[in-house]
Structure 1
């Protein structure tokens, strides 16, 4: 079988990267150690050795690099392998790329090639085709009967599918993967809403979507912060939401829970990064020049972990930062909080997602104490969708309430 030229070049670059990595591990006696995390730009192989060395924690590494470099950094690759890449998490750059100069930053043909399975749908489309998809989808989400259908479908699935499964686990004190349950639940829910069909035979193909990912990280974070859990339960009780049913109207009262979801999305955005392919040269607000063949990577994961954006307590799980002094939800511009993308491509299903997540989270937290299995490591995958790498293994215990 013939080996393609592209595969040969990648193999050659990989070999050179290993050699460079071996060389850089040899300490020079007169050279002082440095604490900088910025990658070295080696001859021939560029910064590939540092990326390979940190491939098992790529999101955290990129965050470290962007934090040290002021929010934007140019990554040099071997010229024969790939064009250079500009990584950024700077809110000013995000606002420029996603809003002010939106037309210059399509997703591009390479993105469509990578996600070919999505065809010419809204997630892959650019320009006129994207606008057509956007208008069509928006008409669906704004239809008067849609929100009633959403609430009815989600709650039926919660009451008739999700809670009976969780009751079974709780009764047997059995540990299980909560992330897997959320993936199956959200897949079934969206199929029921869009197709009016419950795909019982398709549970094995459970959707890996953003809603299930956010719920997974929410319950992990809440399990590590008992005071937050107590505040959520207090809010449910004081808001008169402590009945068996948690509908859309009831969920609007859950401002603190809304803040907890936003904190989960800030620290663990389900879509960790976005890729742009500039249609023409440009200057970013940070002062960086972008050439037409430069790949632009926007790290949403890093944006949520920048001290300059969120303050000294940026790594703390604080739902309070999303609650205004008047008891409402604090508005944060999407270029600072791009969990639902930003600009014209802002997720059309944002409000739908919040309603669904608040209904599910409130129903579970009101009924069960969720405890992560001792010794189970919970770390994010090094992928675009920021799922927990090994799932979220938990045990449930029923709360003693009269009206559950």
Structure 2
């Protein structure tokens, strides 16, 4: 009798409070799931209705390494089943043959697509979101501007200037004070200032003693964090949050407003500068925004007679360049110096190579700086940077849409109802691609027996994308990174704080989750 009454009471409670029943069901669901995962191979279970989403949520904190483990077990290709009708079904691959086919051989069948554009809506109709003819025209113009002799000289000069007047004095002070500092924060501030100067012609002074908060920089961080979340939940969920303006989507909306205000102000300034230079016959600045204001109507990129369309094009273009230039280079430098701290022999080889340029280098305040031209010929420095980018690509994954169904070289079927996600992070960790020593930081793999740089095809080394969409800012990125690395390695030694935990942050850019806490030590004077 007592048992019957207790059962009836419990049933009544569950009927009155159905959320309790749901909570209990979820508890047993995840308990059974974790137990099955521990007993199995680690490949996620495709559950009814929810698909493999529970596995994704459980391993979200280690997304890149978890994905790498799965791709190793499945031979570089794995089909992820999302919840029913969620639009999350995708083929995940790091197979170089698939990369070549999708990014090069049959490029036109694999656009970014509407889903990509919607996820990255903050980029507007810029070059990263565009496809077909719009993309072709934008890329042609961007390529011509970035490869212009005057702009390349502008990049080299501004990179050296920022290192000389911003980075070196800051590091010198940190070395004197013997305090720990987050090197990732330093690099992101450095590349933010540098990219702002290249794109807008202004230095916001983010890399300053005292580390001031720059609203535009913080807004970019908030936006990239929200973009990652959009990749890991059903589209209907984040779209609902966007509509309600809650959660990470509220942060995205606020960040969007801050970024738009900053860019709008810069556009207005550039238009005023253009009018002033015309009236006084002065040469306009060579930053990218100034160049676009001057020539954007050349290939009918936009109707220059329509002010709103004109300003939107400039806004989208500037936003795309800022995302591409700031975060990627900052992340690459952070991982490079962490690897260098773990591999002192590599550091010593870079230092010896730099010493060969000592007579050509210039000194100031007992510090040594190098020009971009002289750094171009350093084989080992370039190889070390490539090796770091292989293991820690700043953009860890890339995804594509599908126009027409076909079978990929791996034997997997690509069809319009699914996305294809390429794990660039995992590719650098595949023995079948890079050999049994793929997990080692080994710059020598990039150097031939004759001591020259060894070329690796872009479908194998995908840090700068591959095929027609290969990064047009590749040379610019290397120029900036070499200027920073040469000055830092020659003048300072970086020690990672003992016990500091280094792991990838879950973001669309491969930042470090906990930053990189280091202490800076000044080397013996190189100018004596």
State TM-score, norm by structure 1: 0.91
Structure 2 partner of 1:6:
none
Q: How many residues align?
A: 389
- 1:24: how far off? 3.0
Structure 1 partner of 2:327:
209
Q: Deviations over 1:313-332 (max 9, x none)?
A: 00000011111222221100
- Structure 2 spans left out of the alignment, 5+ residues: 1-21, 207-211, 221-325, 363-367
Structure 2 partner of 1:58:
63
Instruction: Summarize the alignment of residues 84-123 of structure 1 with structure 2, pairs less than 5 Å apart.
Output: 84-123=89-128
Higher share in helix: 2
Matches of 1:27 and 1:77, distance apart in 2: 19
- 1:33: how far off? 4.0
Q: CA RMSD in A?
A: 2.2
Matches of 1:124 and 1:17, distance apart in 2: 38
Matches of 1:191 and 1:79, distance apart in 2: 43
| Corresponding position: 1:225 with 2:333 | no
Q: Measured at CA, do residues 247 and 16 of structure 1 come closer, stay the same or move farther in structure 2, by a change above 3 Å?
A: farther
| Corresponding position: 1:23 with 2:32 | yes
Structure 1 partner of 2:42:
37
Asked if structure 1 preserves the Cα contact closer than 8 Å seen for 2:490 and 2:526, the reply is no
Asked if structure 1 preserves the Cα contact closer than 8 Å seen for 2:491 and 2:526, the reply is no
Matches of 1:17 and 1:189, distance apart in 2: 49
Q: Deviations over 1:109-144 (max 9, x none)?
A: 121111111111111111111111101100111212
Asked if structure 1 preserves the Cα contact closer than 8 Å seen for 2:191 and 2:329, the reply is yes
SS of match in other structure, 1:209: helix
Q: Measured at CA, do residues 16 and 236 of structure 1 come closer, stay the same or move farther in structure 2, by a change above 3 Å?
A: farther
Asked if structure 1 preserves the Cα contact closer than 8 Å seen for 2:446 and 2:454, the reply is yes
Structure 2 partner of 1:322:
446
- 1:189: how far off? 1.1
- 1:98: how far off? 0.3
Matches of 2:356 and 2:505, distance apart in 1: 38
Tell which structure's C-alpha radius of gyration is larger: 2
Matches of 1:17 and 1:322, distance apart in 2: 50
- 1:14: how far off? 11
Moved more, 79-88 or 392-401: 79-88
SS of match in other structure, 2:129: coil
Matches of 1:380 and 1:94, distance apart in 2: 24
Moved more, 102-111 or 241-250: 241-250
- 1:17: how far off? 6.8
- Structure 1 spans left out of the alignment, 5+ residues: 1-12
Asked if structure 2 preserves the Cα contact closer than 8 Å seen for 1:239 and 1:254, the reply is no
- 1:340: how far off? 0.4
Matches of 1:260 and 1:82, distance apart in 2: 40
- Matching residue within 508, 516, 528 for 1:384: 508
Q: Deviations over 1:263-302 (max 9, x none)?
A: 1111110000001111111210000011111011001001
